[in-house]
Amino acid sequence: MNSSKKSDELDNLFSTMPNSPSHQRKQHDKDLAMQAFMAAQSDGVVEDNVVEDGVVEESNANRQGIFQRLRLTLKSLMNEGDKMTKRWVYSGAIAAVFVVGLSVTVLKNSETYISESYTSESYVSESYKPENTQEYIAPTVTPLEHRAVTENQQEIMRQFSDNSVDSAVSEALIESDTNTVFEAELSRQEPIVGADSVAAVPQLSSSPVAPQSVHRSRTQAFAEGTELRTITSKPIIDDSIVPEVATQNDRFKTLETNPVKKVNEQPVSTFSVDVDTSSYSYVRSQLNSGVLPKKDSVRLEEMVNYFDYSYPSVDSADIPFRSSITVVDSPWKSGNKLIHIGINGYELPKEKLPRSNLVFLLDVSGSMNQANKLPLVKQSFELMLSQLQEDDTVAIVVYAGQVGTVLEPTPVKEKDKILQAIKNLTATGSTAGAQGIQRAYELAETQFDKKAVNRIILATDGDFNVGITNVDELKGFVERKREQGIFLSVLGFGRGNYHDTLMQELAQNGNGVAAYIDTLGEAQKVLVEQASAMLFTIAKDVKLQVEFNPATVSEYRLLGYETRALATEDFSNDKVDAGDIGSGHSVTAVYEITPVGSESGLHSNSRYSDSKEAETSIENTLAKEYGFLKIRYKLPNASTSNLIEMPILKDQKVSQVQLREANFSIAVAGFAQVLRGGKYTGEFTYDDVINLAQTTKGDDLFGYRTEFIQLVRKAKIAKEF
């Protein structure tokens, strides 16, 4: 193949790819592809005029086979990848990968080399002579090709960080029908037929493929510069690669869904608030990989509380939040009602934000050496720095086989110094997590300021395999430090060995938030848009208690909060720890009730305890109530709780905005229940969730609610784990 033909093939390739957000971006990628082409040509690839005609035909079939397989892989990436992946594909960076398919030729049969290992400096090779002349070796990646792809990716990240990519165009392309684009393109490809081949292109596996779930895919291997593969049949199409989702060792606490309770037996329900959001983003990462999440990873309250809601606001930190109650019909069970409780926290004005002493405790163990782990950790904390004040201080402690202080407490005004310390981090070794926590607290104590926020932010995949691994010991240690005024928040990254249970318990005992960062967009949400909510507490030890009226309610169940249940007597005990609410946080809780007289209940009537006398013994004024809500909380520096009380009226008056917000949160709650098996939701389906969410989406300023609807659609076609 001569150079002009190669150029023509590249032109054809780029003309059939989906349009990238920038024509200039596409041209740049094409130039890089041509450079890699020429490098491959000059690095031992045999020209067509040197090889016999029969071998040339096999070379073309070889090239076409890999080219076809790469197209199929791209189709899967476009169908099942998350938004960031799709933007990456659209930008044209993946085009360089096609060079592999375009530049495959057959070396002389007398001598072939296989790359055994690769470094940035050189290859270590050994002579290899195939026993069967029909055996072919897929090409290795040259250092120049690998460098071209790396530079391309870096340029794209710079464009994203500079906001130079037209996001509106990108979003429009992402929402377009990528199936149509790629199916139309694939239909133009001739089936590959060789002497020993099957005259058909194998179809994609029914299991969706996502970039983080493909085990050693060719695309991934090319990007890493370490493809080693022997192909023993023609055409070279490997449809035996089975996508794997790296979640086998992720650990979650077993949850038993809250049961339906009889009011005349257990009229009081008590629980702690929860503002964590890690369950939602973990579920999203699973669905974006094409698989349904583990049921125990779906915590309903964290799914619902992921979203901000337009609940009535407050104007003073003295009474840091107010609650609103909405009563609606249950969308999944006729005859039942849903009692929706919404709490909106006071948002501290920027000029009143206290100073912050922060310690970033970063896991740099070997398990963090993945694209969605340490590299994403670095990007996430770089984003957070933009939200801090100049007189705030940041220290960095890392832990792997050993613990080290990378950065002593440094004022944020020395931002370049902090950024450089973050950029220099690398992942290696085992995980001495417990020692890391101890060092972080020691560093926090040296800068402790009673008037400031003193907080440690732990970023890890949750794999603590060296040192103190006893959960109770760690929890006790974190709890004692909490009493001294140093709090702990936890950010989880990656999949494969994510210890969710430990992360949740550490955050709960450290008066902090637990969040899961699966994308840079999520980092933006948690560490930029909601930075104040994570850093600045407006109320601590917040507990809710509802007493149901036996005259009007026969049964009830609390949706979610299984891990936050409290005993009835814990409500008034100020020594019992509970969840905290940060600046601007909103909290939602939903009860499903069966009104007295409805035939929708699950419990059979008792001959003796369910008499009509219960109703007649209640005064007429109380007969208008479904129950009574109590909320206890402490101000940030207080040790004694305050009490808020309000009735839950049968005929609760609410605004249209409040009704809309309640119904959207109920759509999310319904989705969580269906993901967990739908024990109490009857025939309620994903389509019902979509319909309810669509009609109550509201303004959706940041697009999170639209993304939720897309996730529900993905759940409809996702495979069991």
Domain regions of the chain by residue span: 3-231, 261-349+537-717, 354-535
CB 585 within 8 A of CB 308: no
Lowest mean pLDDT among 40-54, 72-86, 416-430, 521-535: 40-54
Q: Which residues of 218-234 are buried (b: 16+ CB within 10 A; e: fewer)?
A: bbbbbbebbbeeebeeb
User: Before 235, cis peptide (omega within 30)?
Assistant: yes
Lowest mean pLDDT among 228-237, 274-283, 476-485: 228-237
Percent of the chain with pLDDT over 90: 48
CB 103 within 8 A of CB 37: yes
Q: What integer pLDDT is reported at residue 274 of this predicted model?
A: 93
Q: Is the pLDDT of residue 211 over 90?
A: no
Which H or E element spans position 99? Answer: helix 98-102
Instruction: Report, as an integer, the average pLDDT of 67-84.
Output: 53
Distance CA 306, CA 283 (A): 12
- Output the pTM of the full model: 0.66
Q: What integer pLDDT is reported at residue 320 of this predicted model?
A: 92
Q: What integer pLDDT is reported at residue 554 of this predicted model?
A: 96
Q: What integer pLDDT is reported at residue 237 of this predicted model?
A: 29
First to last CA, the chain: 46
Distance CA 86, CA 77 (A): 7
CATH topology for the 354-535 domain: Rossmann fold (3.40.50)
Lowest mean pLDDT among 68-77, 311-320, 466-475, 601-610: 68-77
Q: Is the pLDDT of residue 228 over 70?
A: no
| The two structure tokens encoding residue 599 | 């035939």
Q: What integer pLDDT is reported at residue 369 of this predicted model?
A: 86
pLDDT, greater one: 625 or 168: 625
Lowest mean pLDDT among 75-89, 346-360, 629-643: 75-89
CB 439 within 8 A of CB 405: yes
Q: Is 3 helix (H, G, I), strand (E, B) or coil?
A: helix
Query: DSSP assignment, residue 44?
Result: T
Q: What integer pLDDT is reported at residue 642 of this predicted model?
A: 96
Instruction: Report, as an integer, the average pLDDT of 699-711.
Output: 95
Quote the Cα angle for 295-592-599, to 5°.
Answer: 115
Residue 687, judged by CB atoms within 10 A of its CB (0-12, 13-18, 19+), counts as exposed
Mark out the alpha helices in 291-333 (DSSP H runs): 300-304
Lowest mean pLDDT among 37-41, 522-526, 705-709: 37-41
Instruction: Report, as an integer, the average pLDDT of 463-475.
Output: 66
Q: What integer pLDDT is reported at residue 463 of this predicted model?
A: 67
Q: What integer pLDDT is reported at residue 24 of this predicted model?
A: 61
Instruction: Report, as an integer, the average pLDDT of 585-591.
Output: 96
Percent of the chain with pLDDT over 70: 61
Query: DSSP assignment, residue 528?
Result: I
Rounded to the nearest integer, the mean pLDDT of the chain is 74
CB 290 within 8 A of CB 718: yes
| The two structure tokens encoding residue 140 | 């290795």
Instruction: Report, as an integer, the average pLDDT of 383-399.
Output: 93
Please write the tens of the pLDDT for every residue from 285-326: 999 999 999 999 999 999 999 999 999 888 888 889 889 999
CA 42 vs CA 47, 103, 107, 538, 596: distances in Å: 9, 11, 13, 65, 83
Q: What integer pLDDT is reported at residue 593 of this predicted model?
A: 97
Helix axes 656-675, 686-695, angle to 10 degrees: 160
pLDDT, greater one: 11 or 318: 318
Q: Which CATH class is domain 261-349+537-717?
A: mainly beta
Q: What integer pLDDT is reported at residue 596 of this predicted model?
A: 92
pLDDT, greater one: 480 or 155: 480
Identity of residue 360: F
Lowest mean pLDDT among 142-156, 166-180, 218-232: 218-232
Q: What integer pLDDT is reported at residue 428 of this predicted model?
A: 76
**Residue 435 pLDDT grade (very low, low, confident, very high; cuts 50, 70, 90):** confident
Distance CA 472, CA 462 (A): 16
Q: Is the pLDDT of residue 262 over 60?
A: yes
CB 489 within 8 A of CB 453: no
pLDDT, greater one: 456 or 620: 456
User: Before 320, cis peptide (omega within 30)?
Assistant: no
**Residue 124 pLDDT grade (very low, low, confident, very high; cuts 50, 70, 90):** very low
**Residue 394 pLDDT grade (very low, low, confident, very high; cuts 50, 70, 90):** very high
Q: Is 165 helix (H, G, I), strand (E, B) or coil?
A: coil
Instruction: Report, as an integer, the average pLDDT of 318-346.
Output: 95
Please write the tens of the pLDDT for every residue from 140-169: 444 444 444 444 444 444 444 444 334 343
Instruction: Report, as an integer, the average pLDDT of 132-139.
Output: 37
Instruction: Report, as an integer, the average pLDDT of 169-186.
Output: 40
Residue 256, judged by CB atoms within 10 A of its CB (0-12, 13-18, 19+), counts as exposed
**Residue 36 pLDDT grade (very low, low, confident, very high; cuts 50, 70, 90):** low
Distance CA 255, CA 559 (A): 12
**Residue 403 pLDDT grade (very low, low, confident, very high; cuts 50, 70, 90):** confident
Beta strands 403-411 and 393-399, pairing class: antiparallel
Q: Is the pLDDT of residue 689 over 80?
A: yes
Q: What integer pLDDT is reported at residue 68 of this predicted model?
A: 54
Beta bridge partners of 231: 136
Which H or E element spans position 154? Answer: helix 143-161
Distance CA 140, CA 549 (A): 73
pLDDT, greater one: 523 or 140: 523
Beta strands 403-411 and 579-582, pairing class: unpaired
Q: What integer pLDDT is reported at residue 462 of this predicted model?
A: 77
Question: Cβ of 717: how many Cβ atoms within 10 Å?
Answer: 13
| The two structure tokens encoding residue 117 | 């290992």
Nearest to 326 by CA among 314, 334, 338, 335: 338
Instruction: Report, as an integer, the average pLDDT of 588-602.
Output: 88
Lowest mean pLDDT among 102-116, 488-502, 675-689, 697-711: 102-116
| The two structure tokens encoding residue 111 | 């001598």
Quote the Cα angle for 316-642-571, to 5°.
Answer: 135
Distance CA 98, CA 71 (A): 9
Q: Is the pLDDT of residue 114 over 90?
A: no
Q: What integer pLDDT is reported at residue 365 of this predicted model?
A: 85
Distance CA 501, CA 518 (A): 17
pLDDT, greater one: 430 or 572: 572
Please write the tens of the pLDDT for every residue from 529-581: 999 999 999 999 999 999 999 999 999 999 999 999 999 999 999 999 999 99
Nearest to 659 by CA among 607, 634, 695, 608: 695
Residue with tokens 């979610």: 560
Please write the tens of the pLDDT for every residue from 232-258: 233 322 333 233 345 567 889 898 999
Q: What integer pLDDT is reported at residue 214 of this predicted model?
A: 33
| The two structure tokens encoding residue 612 | 């009509």
